[in-house]
Amino acid sequence: MNWLEHISAVSESFNLATFYSIHVFNDKVKIFMCDTVVILGIHGFYIAFLTRLFQRLVGSVFIKKNAKFLFPLYLVAVFLVLLTHVGDIFIFACILDSLKVFADPLKAFYFVGGMYTTVGYGDYTLPSEWQALPLIISFCGLFAFSMSGASLYTMLGSFLKSPAEQPKGKVSIEK
């Protein structure tokens, strides 16, 4: 098969999109995807709020004068970010338990934990209508971890700035 034949075969496979949307992303999975979007949105807003709060605290006069509070403040921020991921896993496990994907709630929790962290889900067998769950949960975990990583990197940057580099009052953008 040469490259041109390959490209012409790809155009025929676009018809698979309808097949995928019907069979892979069935009604039950679509409901779960809506839950995932809501969870990821809440996670993103919380992380943005936490980052903004940290930057304001670091920029406060009290913290600037007492730099020894910066490191414990950063550790608290790391802990709060970690807590959000545990919360996401817990919420996903509760959703899967309510949808009765697994008979045992612990299996749901371990499955979500493995998929959210992209470690894998071991020997759990999913019913055919739920085969798309690993894809959805792992993508959510990847996006959540990337948001958290960017947030912690931003916090660390503001933590490492010298007091002279900290913004004073309103920040204006000059052209």
Residue by residue, pLDDT tens for the chain (175 residues) are 677 777 777 666 667 777 777 777 788 888 899 999 999 999 999 999 999 999 888 877 666 667 677 888 889 999 999 999 999 999 999 999 999 999 999 999 999 999 999 888 777 888 888 988 999 999 999 999 999 999 999 998 887 775 555 555 554 444 4
Question: Is residue 13 in some structural domain?
Answer: no
Question: Is residue 173 in some structural domain?
Answer: no
**How many domains does one find in the chain?**
1
Question: Is residue 137 in some structural domain?
Answer: yes
| Among candidate residues 148, 150, 136, the one with its CA nearest the CA of residue 43 | 148
Question: Is residue 15 in some structural domain?
Answer: no
Q: Which domain holds residue 78?
A: 23-56+72-160
Question: Is residue 8 in some structural domain?
Answer: no
pTM: 0.79
Cβ contact 80:86 at 8 Å: no
